[in-house]
Structure 1
Amino acid sequence: MVSEYLKQNTAEYHDAAEKLFNSDKIFNKVFTLEDYKKIINTNYLMLLHSEDKIFSNLSDKFSEKLQLDQRKKLPLIEKDLQNLSLENQNASHDLEFSNDYEALGAMYVIEGSTLGGNVIAKQLSKTEGFDKVTFNFFGCYQENTGSMWKSFKEVLDTEVTEENYNEVLSGAKKLYTFLLNVN
């Protein structure tokens, strides 16, 4: 299954992202509003440079099965930017995906961040200093987070054959590399 292949082969990127965002501080309840602004701004830049490209690279078959209209996150994180008094920016980096498979790999990173974001939002809502924060991006699927992740993984695992695993992994690595290096 490609979802397991991706999980195993992107673990070091995932760990690097957690380190970059000081994720350990979240669960120790010492995560600050400045830490949160950093994580939101970086995720915003990732979405700004990738979401439209991912969605436009996916064929109609995938668009329908993945319910792309329900997975748009850029407008949500833009609300977070506004609430945190952070500036919107223009896309200034080249980030391209060659085909459906690379786009699916990049989407794996975004959907995974949504899954983790739900946990982050719940934890931060119990942390001092976050009582006035609205988690538009991290709370985007609300109680449907698990089912949205499950349906995404199901499409991945049923539609991607082993011969395309490396292309999917390539897309995931492209987006993780971008996320880890943009600022």
Structure 2
Amino acid sequence: MVSEYLKQNTAEYHDAAEKLFNSEKIFNKTFTLDDYKKIINTNYLMLLHSEDKIFNSLNGNFAEKLQLDQRKKLPLIEKDLASLALKNQAATHTLEVNNEHEALGMMYVIEGSTLGGNVIAKQLSKTEGFDEITFNFFGCYQENTGPMWKNFKEVLDTEVAEDNYNEVLSGAKKLYTFLLNVN
């Protein structure tokens, strides 16, 4: 199953992202508003440079099966930027999506951040200093986070042939690398 293949082969990238964003501070309640601004701004830049390209690379079949119309996150994170008095930016980096398999790998990174974001939102809502924060991006699916992730994994695992696993992995690594280096 490609979802397990991705999980195993991107673990070091996932760990690097958690380190970059000081994730351990979220759970020991020392995460600050500046830490939160950093994580929102970096995810915003990732979505700004990738979301439209990913969605445009997925054919009608994937668009329907993945419910792409319900997965748009850029407008949500832009609300978070505004509430944090952070500026919208123009896309300044090049990020190429070579095919739909790479797009699926990139989407794996974004959907995974949504899954983790739900946990982050729950933790931070109990942390001092976050009372006034609305978690538009991290809380985007609300109670549907589990079902949306399950749907995404099912589509990946049923639609991607083993011959294409490396292309999907290439997309995931490409977006993780972008996330870890953009600022």
**TM-score in terms of structure 2 length:** 1.00
Q: Which residue of 2 aligns with 1:33?
A: 33
**Residue 74 of structure 2 is aligned to residue 90 of structure 1:** no
The alignment covers a number of residue pairs equal to 183
Cα distance in structure 2, aligned partners of 1:150 and 1:48: 25
SS at match of 1:127: coil
**TM-score in terms of structure 1 length:** 1.00
**One-letter identity of the residue aligned with 2:83:** N
Cα distance in structure 1, aligned partners of 2:26 and 2:124: 7
**One-letter identity of the residue aligned with 2:62:** F
Cα distance in structure 1, aligned partners of 2:146 and 2:118: 10
**One-letter identity of the residue aligned with 1:171:** G
RMSD (Å), alpha carbons: 0.2
Q: Percent identity?
A: 85
**Residue 53 of structure 2 is aligned to residue 60 of structure 1:** no
Cα distance in structure 1, aligned partners of 2:139 and 2:59: 27
Cα distance in structure 2, aligned partners of 1:100 and 1:59: 8
Deviation at 1:56, TM superposition (A): 0.2
Deviation at 1:79, TM superposition (A): 0.0
**One-letter identity of the residue aligned with 1:12:** E
Q: Which residue of 2 aligns with 1:116?
A: 116
What per-residue deviation string (whole Å, max 9, x for no partner) do you get for residues 38-67 of structure 1? 000000000000000000000111001000
Deviation at 1:97, TM superposition (A): 0.8
Deviation at 1:28, TM superposition (A): 0.3
Cα distance in structure 2, aligned partners of 1:97 and 1:9: 19
Give 1:12-31 correspondences, 5 Å limit.
12-31=12-31
**One-letter identity of the residue aligned with 1:99:** N
Deviation at 1:182, TM superposition (A): 0.2
Cα distance in structure 2, aligned partners of 1:25 and 1:160: 36
**One-letter identity of the residue aligned with 1:165:** Y
Give 1:1-183 correspondences, 5 Å limit.
1-183=1-183
SS at match of 2:50: helix
Cα distance in structure 1, aligned partners of 2:80 and 2:92: 21
Deviation at 1:107, TM superposition (A): 0.1
Instruction: Name structure 2 gaps, 5 residues minimum.
Output: none
Cα distance in structure 2, aligned partners of 1:122 and 1:136: 12
Deviation at 1:167, TM superposition (A): 0.1
Instruction: Name structure 1 gaps, 5 residues minimum.
Output: none
Cα distance in structure 1, aligned partners of 2:60 and 2:163: 21
